[in-house]
């Protein structure tokens, strides 16, 4: 074996063990948005995201159960025996634990790379994931379901799940007035998967406590010694 490749199998082993750690830090939650004919509009859901530590994670939404805007192309992707058509429109707000105000709006992500602006502030960094990454949870429409990477400072946030589209004034009102689903229905289901290499998710009702996973000292020591080995090889060659 060429000297350069001698330590590759070992490096691959370390990497795969790190990835299996990453897979453990995944949670999936689900919910249903309702159409209310009397009030003429749709509900939206509030998920409390409490960052016990600052950190970074992916959000991947699965909802729209057709490859087109027509029911003829429907597919039961959440396996519940029916087709529903939520076009998710999602928002981050600061959670002040009082009435939701437009002033506390932080970011919006409607679709993959569409109505999902890259944000880079000390409080929140957000960028869309690719279509391929967004489809890892089973999403089938090229555009409807958002998927993104987000970094949040420690603190309490709200993640709103609505049907396209929720205005900031309707968010303040607590109801999405004048809205209905793209394909008529009295309800539509969604699923959200949170995943991270470095953060842990603890779900209780509609609250998700997000905390940093302590990196085992042993992994660091092992990794450092391997890096040292590579460095020495480089010096020798």
**Could you tell me the smallest distance in angstroms from the CB atom of residue 88 to Ca ion?**
5
Shortest Å, Cβ 146 to Ca ion: 6
Contact 45, 161 (CB under 8 A): yes
Which range binds Ca ion by CB under 5 A, 4-12, 30-38, 133-141, 219-227? 133-141
Answer yes or no whether residue 162 interacts with Ca ion by CB under 5 A. no
Asked if 163 is part of the footprint of Ca ion (rule: CB under 5 A), the reply reads no
193 forms part of the interface with Ca ion (CB under 5 A): no
**CB nearer to Ca ion: pick between 79 and 214:** 79
16-39 CB burial, b ≥16 within 10 A, e <16:
eeeeeeeeebebebebebebeeee
Please say which residue, 109 or 119, places its beta carbon nearer to Ca ion.
Answer: 109
Q: At what angle do helices 8-24 and 217-236 cross, to 10 degrees?
A: 150
Going by C-alpha positions, the residue among 137, 77, 93 that lies closest to residue 112 is 137
Beta-bridged to residue 59, according to DSSP, are 148, 194
Site string for Ca ion, 11-50 (x = CB under 5 A): ----------------------------------------
Q: Candidates 42, 139, 191, 200: give the one binding Ca ion (CB under 5 A).
A: 139
Q: Between 104 and 110, name the residue whose CB sits nearer to Ca ion.
A: 110
Q: Which of 35, 87, 93, 160 binds Ca ion (CB under 5 A)?
A: 87
What residues does 151 pair with on adjacent strands? 56, 125
Per the document, the length of the chain is 237
Residues 47-66 binding Ca ion (CB under 5 A) are 60, 62
How many Cβ atoms are within 10 Å of 204's Cβ, its own excluded? Answer: 8
**Of positions 104, 111, 163, 170, contacts Ca ion by CB under 5 A:** 111
Question: Under the phi-then-psi rule, with left for phi > 0, alpha for psi from -120 to 50, and beta for the rest, what region is 205?
Answer: left
| 188: preceding bond cis by omega (within 30 degrees) | no
Q: Which residues bind Ca ion (CB under 5 A)?
A: 60, 62, 76, 78, 80, 87-88, 110-111, 134, 137, 139, 144-145, 147, 164
């Amino acid at each position: 074996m060429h000297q350069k490749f001698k330590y590759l199998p070992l490096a691959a082993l370390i990497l795969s063990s790190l990835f299996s750690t990453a897979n453990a830090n995944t949670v999936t939650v689900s919910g249903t948005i309702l159409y209310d004919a009397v009030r003429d509009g749709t509900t939206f859901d509030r998920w409390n995201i409490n960052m016990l530590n600052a950190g970074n994670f992916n959000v991947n939404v699965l909802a729209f159960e057709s490859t087109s805007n027509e029911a003829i192309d429907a597919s039961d992707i959440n396996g519940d025996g029916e087709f529903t058509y939520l076009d998710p429109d999602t928002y981050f707000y600061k959670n002040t634990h009082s009435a939701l105000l437009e002033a506390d709006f932080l970011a919006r992500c409607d679709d993959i790379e569409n109505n999902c602006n890259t944000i880079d502030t000390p409080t929140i960094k957000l960028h869309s994931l690719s279509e391929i990454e967004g489809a890892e949870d089973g999403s089938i429409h090229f555009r409807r379901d958002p998927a993104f990477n987000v970094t949040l400072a420690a603190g309490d946030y709200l993640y709103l799940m609505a049907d396209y589209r929720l205005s900031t004034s309707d968010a303040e009102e607590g109801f999405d007035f004048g809205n209905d689903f793209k394909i008529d229905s009295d309800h539509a289901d969604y699923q959200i998967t949170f995943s991270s290499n470095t953060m842990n998710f603890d779900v209780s009702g509609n609250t998700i406590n997000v905390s940093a996973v302590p990196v085992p000292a042993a992994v660091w020591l092992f990794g450092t010694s391997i890096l040292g080995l590579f460095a020495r090889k480089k010096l020798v060659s």
